[in-house]
Structure 1
Protein backbone atom coordinates (compact mmCIF):
# COMPACT_ATOMS: atom_id res chain seq x y z
CA UNK A 1 0.00 0.00 0.00
CA UNK A 2 2.57 2.55 1.14
CA UNK A 3 4.63 2.72 -2.05
CA UNK A 4 1.73 4.06 -4.06
CA UNK A 5 0.32 6.35 -1.38
CA UNK A 6 -2.46 8.68 -2.49
CA UNK A 7 -2.20 12.15 -1.02
CA UNK A 8 -5.21 13.11 1.09
CA UNK A 9 -6.29 16.10 3.09
CA UNK A 10 -5.27 15.67 6.72
CA UNK A 11 -6.36 18.00 9.54
CA UNK A 12 -3.63 20.41 10.56
CA UNK A 13 -3.98 19.24 14.14
CA UNK A 14 -2.37 15.92 13.20
CA UNK A 15 1.05 17.38 12.45
CA UNK A 16 2.93 20.45 11.30
CA UNK A 17 2.19 20.24 7.58
CA UNK A 18 4.72 22.03 5.36
CA UNK A 19 4.86 22.59 1.63
CA UNK A 20 8.23 20.90 1.18
CA UNK A 21 8.23 18.59 -1.82
CA UNK A 22 10.55 16.05 -0.22
CA UNK A 23 10.53 16.21 3.59
CA UNK A 24 13.85 15.63 5.32
CA UNK A 25 14.37 12.97 7.94
CA UNK A 26 16.88 11.26 10.20
CA UNK A 27 17.30 7.88 11.84
CA UNK A 28 18.81 7.59 15.29
CA UNK A 29 19.71 5.23 18.12
CA UNK A 30 21.40 5.49 21.51
CA UNK A 31 24.62 6.12 19.55
CA UNK A 32 23.53 9.76 19.09
CA UNK A 33 23.21 10.31 22.85
CA UNK A 34 20.79 12.90 24.17
CA UNK A 35 18.83 14.66 21.42
CA UNK A 36 17.11 18.05 21.57
CA UNK A 37 14.10 17.24 19.40
CA UNK A 38 12.76 20.80 19.41
CA UNK A 39 16.02 21.92 17.80
CA UNK A 40 15.84 19.02 15.37
CA UNK A 41 12.35 20.07 14.33
CA UNK A 42 13.42 23.71 14.01
CA UNK A 43 16.27 22.60 11.76
CA UNK A 44 13.72 21.38 9.21
CA UNK A 45 13.53 17.68 10.07
CA UNK A 46 10.01 16.37 9.46
CA UNK A 47 10.35 12.64 10.22
CA UNK A 48 12.54 10.12 12.01
CA UNK A 49 12.91 6.40 12.50
CA UNK A 50 14.18 5.58 15.98
CA UNK A 51 15.88 2.33 16.99
CA UNK A 52 13.72 0.31 19.36
CA UNK A 53 14.94 -3.28 19.34
CA UNK A 54 17.46 -5.82 18.10
CA UNK A 55 16.95 -9.57 18.00
CA UNK A 56 14.65 -10.68 20.83
CA UNK A 57 16.52 -9.35 23.87
CA UNK A 58 17.83 -5.83 23.17
CA UNK A 59 15.79 -2.66 23.75
CA UNK A 60 17.56 0.59 22.91
CA UNK A 61 18.25 2.54 26.11
CA UNK A 62 17.21 5.87 24.61
CA UNK A 63 14.20 4.68 22.65
CA UNK A 64 11.51 5.75 25.11
CA UNK A 65 12.92 9.25 25.49
CA UNK A 66 13.52 9.69 21.76
CA UNK A 67 10.11 8.36 20.76
CA UNK A 68 8.22 10.55 23.22
CA UNK A 69 10.27 13.70 22.73
CA UNK A 70 10.16 13.49 18.94
CA UNK A 71 6.38 13.18 19.10
CA UNK A 72 6.08 16.15 21.45
CA UNK A 73 8.27 18.25 19.15
CA UNK A 74 5.99 17.53 16.18
CA UNK A 75 8.35 15.18 14.33
CA UNK A 76 6.53 12.31 12.60
CA UNK A 77 8.37 9.28 13.94
CA UNK A 78 8.43 5.51 13.79
CA UNK A 79 10.44 2.72 15.36
CA UNK A 80 12.91 0.38 13.71
CA UNK A 81 14.16 -3.10 14.52
CA UNK A 82 17.71 -4.21 13.81
CA UNK A 83 17.28 -7.72 12.42
CA UNK A 84 19.36 -10.68 13.59
CA UNK A 85 18.08 -13.42 11.24
CA UNK A 86 20.65 -15.94 12.44
CA UNK A 87 19.53 -15.70 16.07
CA UNK A 88 15.78 -16.40 16.02
CA UNK A 89 12.79 -16.55 13.70
CA UNK A 90 11.29 -13.61 11.86
CA UNK A 91 8.04 -14.17 13.72
CA UNK A 92 9.74 -14.09 17.12
CA UNK A 93 11.62 -10.89 16.32
CA UNK A 94 8.55 -9.16 14.89
CA UNK A 95 6.61 -10.08 18.03
CA UNK A 96 9.36 -8.65 20.24
CA UNK A 97 9.55 -5.49 18.14
CA UNK A 98 5.79 -4.88 18.10
CA UNK A 99 5.57 -5.22 21.88
CA UNK A 100 8.65 -3.09 22.65
CA UNK A 101 8.01 0.11 20.73
CA UNK A 102 7.21 -1.02 17.22
CA UNK A 103 3.47 -0.60 17.47
CA UNK A 104 1.40 1.90 15.51
CA UNK A 105 -1.48 4.28 16.14
CA UNK A 106 -3.35 6.52 13.74
CA UNK A 107 -2.40 9.82 15.33
CA UNK A 108 -0.74 11.56 12.38
CA UNK A 109 2.69 11.36 13.99
CA UNK A 110 3.49 7.63 13.90
CA UNK A 111 5.10 5.89 10.93
CA UNK A 112 4.85 2.14 10.41
CA UNK A 113 7.76 0.24 11.91
CA UNK A 114 10.82 -0.68 9.88
CA UNK A 115 13.03 -3.76 9.83
CA UNK A 116 16.74 -3.03 9.31
CA UNK A 117 18.31 -5.69 7.09
CA UNK A 118 22.02 -5.10 6.75
CA UNK A 119 24.10 -7.32 9.08
CA UNK A 120 25.17 -9.93 6.54
CA UNK A 121 23.22 -13.04 5.56
CA UNK A 122 23.74 -14.68 8.98
CA UNK A 123 24.46 -18.06 7.43
CA UNK A 124 20.96 -18.33 5.95
CA UNK A 125 20.37 -19.51 2.42
CA UNK A 126 18.59 -17.10 0.11
CA UNK A 127 15.43 -19.18 0.39
CA UNK A 128 15.63 -19.21 4.19
CA UNK A 129 16.19 -15.45 4.27
CA UNK A 130 13.14 -14.87 2.09
CA UNK A 131 11.09 -16.99 4.47
CA UNK A 132 12.49 -15.11 7.47
CA UNK A 133 11.53 -11.74 5.98
CA UNK A 134 8.05 -12.94 5.03
CA UNK A 135 7.49 -14.33 8.54
CA UNK A 136 8.56 -10.99 10.04
CA UNK A 137 6.25 -9.12 7.68
CA UNK A 138 3.23 -11.36 8.31
CA UNK A 139 3.65 -11.29 12.09
CA UNK A 140 4.20 -7.54 12.24
CA UNK A 141 1.15 -6.89 10.08
CA UNK A 142 -1.01 -9.22 12.16
CA UNK A 143 -0.07 -7.32 15.31
CA UNK A 144 -0.19 -3.73 14.00
CA UNK A 145 -2.29 -3.74 10.84
CA UNK A 146 0.58 -2.13 8.93
CA UNK A 147 3.03 -3.24 6.27
CA UNK A 148 6.51 -3.18 7.75
CA UNK A 149 9.00 -0.86 6.03
CA UNK A 150 12.11 -2.61 4.73
CA UNK A 151 15.46 -0.86 5.18
CA UNK A 152 18.31 -2.33 3.16
CA UNK A 153 20.75 -1.84 0.31
CA UNK A 154 20.54 -3.18 -3.22
CA UNK A 155 23.68 -5.26 -2.65
CA UNK A 156 22.37 -6.87 0.58
CA UNK A 157 19.06 -7.69 -1.05
CA UNK A 158 20.79 -9.25 -4.03
CA UNK A 159 23.26 -11.29 -1.97
CA UNK A 160 20.95 -12.43 0.82
CA UNK A 161 17.60 -12.89 -0.97
CA UNK A 162 18.78 -13.53 -4.52
CA UNK A 163 17.07 -10.39 -5.80
CA UNK A 164 13.68 -11.55 -4.52
CA UNK A 165 10.74 -9.70 -6.04
CA UNK A 166 8.16 -10.97 -3.55
CA UNK A 167 8.07 -7.93 -1.24
CA UNK A 168 7.78 -5.11 -3.74
CA UNK A 169 3.98 -5.03 -3.62
CA UNK A 170 3.88 -5.35 0.18
CA UNK A 171 6.48 -3.18 1.90
CA UNK A 172 7.66 0.40 1.42
CA UNK A 173 11.37 0.52 0.53
CA UNK A 174 13.74 2.58 2.69
CA UNK A 175 16.93 2.26 0.72
CA UNK A 176 20.42 3.10 1.93
CA UNK A 177 22.77 4.43 -0.73
CA UNK A 178 25.28 7.13 0.16
CA UNK A 179 27.20 9.57 -1.99
CA UNK A 180 25.04 9.33 -5.11
CA UNK A 181 22.52 11.60 -6.80
CA UNK A 182 19.93 8.83 -7.07
CA UNK A 183 19.76 5.52 -5.17
CA UNK A 184 19.91 2.03 -6.66
CA UNK A 185 16.68 0.25 -5.77
CA UNK A 186 16.64 -3.40 -4.62
CA UNK A 187 15.03 -5.82 -7.06
CA UNK A 188 11.26 -6.02 -7.09
CA UNK A 189 10.57 -2.57 -5.61
CA UNK A 190 9.17 -0.08 -8.14
CA UNK A 191 10.54 2.94 -6.27
CA UNK A 192 11.85 4.09 -2.90
CA UNK A 193 9.69 5.58 -0.18
CA UNK A 194 12.63 6.82 1.92
CA UNK A 195 16.29 7.15 0.99
CA UNK A 196 19.13 7.23 3.52
CA UNK A 197 21.53 9.34 1.50
CA UNK A 198 24.20 10.04 4.13
CA UNK A 199 25.63 8.57 7.32
CA UNK A 200 27.66 11.67 8.17
CA UNK A 201 25.00 14.36 8.33
CA UNK A 202 24.88 17.09 10.93
CA UNK A 203 21.65 18.44 12.44
CA UNK A 204 21.09 21.05 15.11
CA UNK A 205 20.15 19.40 18.40
CA UNK A 206 22.34 16.33 17.83
CA UNK A 207 26.01 16.06 18.74
CA UNK A 208 28.08 14.33 16.07
CA UNK A 209 27.03 12.61 12.88
CA UNK A 210 23.56 11.31 12.13
CA UNK A 211 22.02 9.40 9.23
CA UNK A 212 20.06 11.66 6.90
CA UNK A 213 17.02 10.67 4.85
CA UNK A 214 14.80 12.00 2.08
CA UNK A 215 11.11 11.14 1.73
CA UNK A 216 9.87 10.44 -1.78
CA UNK A 217 6.91 12.76 -2.06
CA UNK A 218 5.18 15.70 -0.44
CA UNK A 219 4.45 16.40 3.20
CA UNK A 220 0.87 15.30 2.53
CA UNK A 221 2.15 11.93 1.29
CA UNK A 222 4.27 11.57 4.41
CA UNK A 223 1.15 12.16 6.51
CA UNK A 224 -0.71 9.63 4.38
CA UNK A 225 1.93 7.03 5.21
CA UNK A 226 1.59 7.86 8.90
CA UNK A 227 -2.20 7.67 8.74
CA UNK A 228 -2.40 4.53 6.55
CA UNK A 229 -4.53 6.30 3.93
Structure 2
Protein backbone atom coordinates (compact mmCIF):
# COMPACT_ATOMS: atom_id res chain seq x y z
CA UNK A 1 0.00 0.00 0.00
CA UNK A 2 2.79 2.41 0.94
CA UNK A 3 4.50 1.81 -2.41
CA UNK A 4 1.25 2.46 -4.29
CA UNK A 5 0.70 5.75 -2.40
CA UNK A 6 4.28 6.82 -3.13
CA UNK A 7 3.85 6.04 -6.82
CA UNK A 8 0.66 8.11 -6.97
CA UNK A 9 2.36 11.06 -5.25
CA UNK A 10 5.29 10.96 -7.65
CA UNK A 11 2.89 10.88 -10.60
CA UNK A 12 1.01 13.91 -9.30
CA UNK A 13 4.21 15.85 -8.71
CA UNK A 14 5.51 15.12 -12.20
CA UNK A 15 2.20 16.25 -13.70
CA UNK A 16 2.54 19.62 -12.02
CA UNK A 17 5.76 20.35 -13.89
CA UNK A 18 8.97 21.73 -12.38
CA UNK A 19 8.82 23.36 -8.99
CA UNK A 20 9.34 27.16 -8.82
CA UNK A 21 12.84 26.63 -7.44
CA UNK A 22 13.74 24.29 -10.27
CA UNK A 23 12.26 26.58 -12.91
CA UNK A 24 13.60 29.86 -11.56
CA UNK A 25 16.82 28.34 -10.34
CA UNK A 26 18.28 27.44 -13.69
CA UNK A 27 22.05 27.40 -13.57
CA UNK A 28 22.64 30.75 -15.25
CA UNK A 29 22.91 34.49 -14.74
CA UNK A 30 19.63 35.89 -16.03
CA UNK A 31 18.14 39.28 -16.82
CA UNK A 32 14.44 40.12 -16.70
CA UNK A 33 14.84 43.16 -18.96
CA UNK A 34 17.89 42.62 -21.19
CA UNK A 35 19.17 45.48 -23.34
CA UNK A 36 20.96 45.22 -26.67
CA UNK A 37 23.84 47.67 -26.41
CA UNK A 38 25.83 49.17 -29.23
CA UNK A 39 29.20 47.50 -29.56
CA UNK A 40 30.34 44.64 -27.38
CA UNK A 41 27.55 42.99 -25.41
CA UNK A 42 27.96 42.25 -21.67
CA UNK A 43 27.84 38.50 -22.22
CA UNK A 44 30.97 38.80 -24.36
CA UNK A 45 32.99 39.81 -21.29
CA UNK A 46 34.27 36.64 -19.63
CA UNK A 47 34.40 37.96 -16.05
CA UNK A 48 31.11 38.90 -14.45
CA UNK A 49 30.17 39.88 -10.94
CA UNK A 50 27.46 41.46 -8.81
CA UNK A 51 26.89 44.00 -6.08
CA UNK A 52 24.70 43.60 -3.04
CA UNK A 53 23.26 45.61 -0.18
CA UNK A 54 20.37 45.31 2.28
CA UNK A 55 17.92 44.95 -0.61
CA UNK A 56 19.41 41.53 -1.35
CA UNK A 57 18.02 39.91 1.76
CA UNK A 58 19.23 36.42 0.87
CA UNK A 59 21.97 35.45 -1.58
CA UNK A 60 22.91 31.87 -2.37
CA UNK A 61 26.58 32.65 -2.75
CA UNK A 62 27.61 29.09 -3.53
CA UNK A 63 25.26 28.92 -6.51
CA UNK A 64 26.19 32.44 -7.58
CA UNK A 65 29.79 31.27 -7.79
CA UNK A 66 28.72 28.13 -9.66
CA UNK A 67 26.99 30.12 -12.42
CA UNK A 68 29.93 32.46 -13.00
CA UNK A 69 29.88 35.26 -10.43
CA UNK A 70 33.58 35.94 -9.90
CA UNK A 71 33.44 39.12 -7.82
CA UNK A 72 31.06 41.02 -5.55
CA UNK A 73 31.01 44.62 -4.37
CA UNK A 74 29.13 44.86 -1.07
CA UNK A 75 27.69 48.00 0.48
CA UNK A 76 29.35 48.61 3.84
CA UNK A 77 28.61 52.17 4.89
CA UNK A 78 26.71 55.34 4.09
CA UNK A 79 27.67 58.72 5.47
CA UNK A 80 29.31 58.80 8.88
CA UNK A 81 27.14 56.45 10.90
CA UNK A 82 24.99 54.13 8.75
CA UNK A 83 26.23 50.57 8.34
CA UNK A 84 24.40 48.38 5.86
CA UNK A 85 22.49 45.77 7.86
CA UNK A 86 23.42 42.96 5.46
CA UNK A 87 27.11 43.79 5.09
CA UNK A 88 28.45 41.25 7.57
CA UNK A 89 26.27 38.44 6.17
CA UNK A 90 27.19 39.24 2.57
CA UNK A 91 30.88 39.61 3.43
CA UNK A 92 31.03 36.21 5.13
CA UNK A 93 28.86 34.47 2.52
CA UNK A 94 30.82 35.69 -0.50
CA UNK A 95 34.09 34.86 1.21
CA UNK A 96 33.04 31.31 2.06
CA UNK A 97 31.94 30.76 -1.54
CA UNK A 98 35.31 31.81 -2.91
CA UNK A 99 33.99 34.96 -4.60
CA UNK A 100 36.44 37.84 -4.60
CA UNK A 101 34.74 40.55 -2.55
CA UNK A 102 35.14 44.22 -1.87
CA UNK A 103 33.29 46.92 0.07
CA UNK A 104 31.81 50.22 -1.03
CA UNK A 105 30.84 53.45 0.68
CA UNK A 106 27.83 55.55 -0.35
CA UNK A 107 28.85 59.20 -0.03
CA UNK A 108 26.71 61.62 2.03
CA UNK A 109 27.06 65.31 1.27
CA UNK A 110 26.26 66.59 4.77
CA UNK A 111 29.14 64.89 6.62
CA UNK A 112 32.82 65.64 6.17
CA UNK A 113 34.86 63.18 4.07
CA UNK A 114 37.20 62.68 7.03
CA UNK A 115 34.38 61.42 9.25
CA UNK A 116 33.05 59.20 6.46
CA UNK A 117 36.48 57.75 5.70
CA UNK A 118 37.06 56.88 9.37
CA UNK A 119 33.66 55.20 9.62
CA UNK A 120 34.38 53.11 6.51
CA UNK A 121 37.80 52.11 7.83
CA UNK A 122 36.32 51.16 11.22
CA UNK A 123 33.63 49.02 9.52
CA UNK A 124 35.43 47.15 6.74
CA UNK A 125 38.02 44.47 7.57
CA UNK A 126 41.44 44.95 6.02
CA UNK A 127 41.47 41.44 4.60
CA UNK A 128 44.21 40.15 2.36
CA UNK A 129 43.03 39.28 -1.14
CA UNK A 130 39.93 41.49 -1.14
CA UNK A 131 39.10 44.09 -3.79
CA UNK A 132 40.04 47.76 -3.50
CA UNK A 133 37.56 49.97 -1.65
CA UNK A 134 34.90 51.73 -3.72
CA UNK A 135 33.60 55.27 -3.36
CA UNK A 136 30.00 55.43 -4.59
CA UNK A 137 29.28 58.95 -5.91
CA UNK A 138 25.75 59.78 -7.02
CA UNK A 139 23.03 62.25 -6.12
CA UNK A 140 20.47 60.99 -3.63
CA UNK A 141 17.26 62.95 -4.26
CA UNK A 142 15.37 60.85 -1.71
CA UNK A 143 17.51 61.68 1.32
CA UNK A 144 15.27 63.01 4.11
CA UNK A 145 18.21 64.60 5.94
CA UNK A 146 20.55 66.05 3.31
CA UNK A 147 19.64 68.10 0.25
CA UNK A 148 23.10 69.66 -0.16
CA UNK A 149 24.47 69.60 -3.71
CA UNK A 150 27.86 71.30 -3.83
CA UNK A 151 29.49 72.47 -7.04
CA UNK A 152 31.78 70.19 -9.00
CA UNK A 153 35.03 71.58 -7.63
CA UNK A 154 33.83 71.03 -4.06
CA UNK A 155 32.62 67.53 -4.88
CA UNK A 156 35.97 66.57 -6.38
CA UNK A 157 37.85 68.05 -3.42
CA UNK A 158 35.78 66.06 -0.93
CA UNK A 159 36.20 62.91 -2.99
CA UNK A 160 39.97 63.32 -3.08
CA UNK A 161 40.15 63.80 0.69
CA UNK A 162 38.18 60.57 1.25
CA UNK A 163 40.29 58.71 -1.30
CA UNK A 164 43.58 59.83 0.27
CA UNK A 165 42.61 58.67 3.77
CA UNK A 166 41.19 55.33 2.64
CA UNK A 167 44.14 54.68 0.29
CA UNK A 168 46.59 55.14 3.15
CA UNK A 169 44.77 52.61 5.31
CA UNK A 170 44.07 49.85 2.78
CA UNK A 171 47.18 50.27 0.65
CA UNK A 172 45.12 50.48 -2.54
CA UNK A 173 43.58 53.48 -4.29
CA UNK A 174 39.77 53.26 -4.24
CA UNK A 175 37.67 52.73 -7.34
CA UNK A 176 35.09 55.41 -8.16
CA UNK A 177 31.52 54.27 -8.88
CA UNK A 178 29.24 56.80 -10.50
CA UNK A 179 26.27 57.49 -12.76
CA UNK A 180 26.19 59.38 -16.08
CA UNK A 181 24.45 62.43 -14.62
CA UNK A 182 26.73 62.74 -11.59
CA UNK A 183 29.83 62.17 -13.71
CA UNK A 184 28.89 64.92 -16.14
CA UNK A 185 27.60 67.49 -13.65
CA UNK A 186 30.70 67.23 -11.43
CA UNK A 187 33.43 66.89 -14.02
CA UNK A 188 34.71 63.53 -12.81
CA UNK A 189 36.71 63.14 -16.02
CA UNK A 190 39.21 65.40 -14.23
CA UNK A 191 40.26 62.44 -12.05
CA UNK A 192 43.40 60.86 -13.48
CA UNK A 193 45.04 57.65 -12.35
CA UNK A 194 41.79 56.42 -10.79
CA UNK A 195 39.81 53.41 -11.95
CA UNK A 196 36.10 53.77 -12.64
CA UNK A 197 33.14 51.48 -12.10
CA UNK A 198 30.44 52.93 -14.33
CA UNK A 199 26.69 52.48 -14.15
CA UNK A 200 24.90 52.57 -17.48
CA UNK A 201 21.94 50.30 -18.13
CA UNK A 202 20.54 51.88 -21.30
CA UNK A 203 23.67 52.85 -23.23
CA UNK A 204 27.15 51.42 -23.59
CA UNK A 205 29.94 53.01 -21.51
CA UNK A 206 31.35 54.59 -24.66
CA UNK A 207 28.02 56.34 -25.30
CA UNK A 208 27.25 57.32 -21.70
CA UNK A 209 30.81 58.35 -20.74
CA UNK A 210 32.56 59.44 -23.96
CA UNK A 211 36.32 59.06 -23.75
CA UNK A 212 36.33 57.65 -20.22
CA UNK A 213 38.26 54.44 -19.56
CA UNK A 214 36.65 52.00 -17.15
CA UNK A 215 37.41 48.87 -15.17
CA UNK A 216 33.90 47.70 -14.24
CA UNK A 217 30.52 48.22 -15.91
CA UNK A 218 27.21 47.84 -14.07
CA UNK A 219 25.05 47.02 -17.05
CA UNK A 220 21.79 45.90 -15.46
CA UNK A 221 19.75 46.33 -12.30
CA UNK A 222 17.33 43.58 -13.33
CA UNK A 223 19.61 40.55 -13.11
CA UNK A 224 18.63 37.25 -11.56
CA UNK A 225 20.59 34.46 -9.92
CA UNK A 226 19.51 30.92 -9.02
CA UNK A 227 18.05 30.53 -5.55
CA UNK A 228 18.46 34.26 -4.86
CA UNK A 229 15.14 36.12 -4.57
CA UNK A 230 14.58 39.48 -6.18
CA UNK A 231 16.65 41.43 -8.67
CA UNK A 232 20.41 41.85 -8.65
CA UNK A 233 22.84 44.34 -10.21
CA UNK A 234 25.20 42.50 -12.56
CA UNK A 235 28.60 43.84 -13.61
CA UNK A 236 31.44 42.95 -15.95
CA UNK A 237 35.20 43.39 -15.74
CA UNK A 238 36.77 45.12 -18.71
CA UNK A 239 39.30 42.52 -19.81
CA UNK A 240 40.10 38.90 -20.48
CA UNK A 241 40.28 36.10 -17.92
CA UNK A 242 44.06 36.44 -18.01
CA UNK A 243 43.99 40.19 -17.45
CA UNK A 244 41.55 39.65 -14.58
CA UNK A 245 44.09 37.49 -12.79
CA UNK A 246 46.84 39.99 -13.49
CA UNK A 247 44.68 42.83 -12.21
CA UNK A 248 43.89 40.92 -9.01
CA UNK A 249 47.59 40.37 -8.37
CA UNK A 250 48.20 44.10 -8.57
CA UNK A 251 45.06 45.53 -6.99
CA UNK A 252 43.85 43.31 -4.16
CA UNK A 253 44.53 44.22 -0.54
CA UNK A 254 47.85 42.96 0.78
Q: TM-score, normalised by structure 2?
A: 0.73
Deviations 1:111-130 (A, max 9, x none): 10111111258321211111
- CA positional deviation for 1:220: 3.5
Question: Whole-Å Cα distance in 2 between the matches of residues 168 and 185 of structure 1?
Answer: 18
Summarize the Cα distance change of 1:217–1:21 in structure 2 as closer, same or farther, 3 Å threshold.
Answer: same
2:120 to 97, 106, 109: 97
Worse overlay, 42-51 or 111-120: 111-120
After the TM superposition, which residues 146-161 of structure 1 pair with which residues of structure 2 at under 5 Å, given as runs? 146-159=172-185, 161=186
Assess if the C-alpha contact under 8 Å between 1:91 and 1:136 holds in 2.
yes
Report the counterpart of residue 94 of structure 2 in structure 1. 70
Worse overlay, 131-140 or 175-184: 175-184
Q: Which runs of 5+ in 1 are unaligned?
A: 1-19
Assess if the C-alpha contact under 8 Å between 2:223 and 2:234 holds in 1.
yes
2:135 maps to 1:115: yes
- CA positional deviation for 1:81: 0.7
2:231 to 209, 213, 216: 209
Question: Whole-Å Cα distance in 2 between the matches of residues 180 and 49 of structure 1?
Answer: 22
Question: Whole-Å Cα distance in 1 between the matches of residues 152 and 205 of structure 2?
Answer: 27
Question: Whole-Å Cα distance in 1 between the matches of residues 164 and 211 of structure 2?
Answer: 18
2:64 to 30, 36, 40: 40
Assess if the C-alpha contact under 8 Å between 1:104 and 1:112 holds in 2.
no
Question: Whole-Å Cα distance in 1 between the matches of residues 79 and 206 of structure 2?
Answer: 28
> SS of the counterpart of 2:203?
coil
2:107 to 83, 94, 100: 83
Question: Whole-Å Cα distance in 2 between the matches of residues 90 and 22 of structure 1?
Answer: 36
- CA positional deviation for 1:155: 2.0
> SS of the counterpart of 2:120?
helix
Report the counterpart of residue 24 of structure 1 in structure 2. 48
- CA positional deviation for 1:133: 0.7
Q: CA RMSD in A?
A: 2.1
Q: Which has the higher helix share?
A: 2
Q: Which runs of 5+ in 2 are unaligned?
A: 1-43, 141-146
Report the counterpart of residue 222 of structure 1 in structure 2. 244
Summarize the Cα distance change of 1:225–1:122 in structure 2 as closer, same or farther, 3 Å threshold.
Answer: farther
Q: TM-score, normalised by structure 1?
A: 0.80
> SS of the counterpart of 1:158?
helix
Deviations 1:154-205 (A, max 9, x none): 321111x2x2443231x2100000033445464774x110000001111113
Greater Rg by CA: 2
Number of residue pairs aligned between Structure 1 and Structure 2? 202
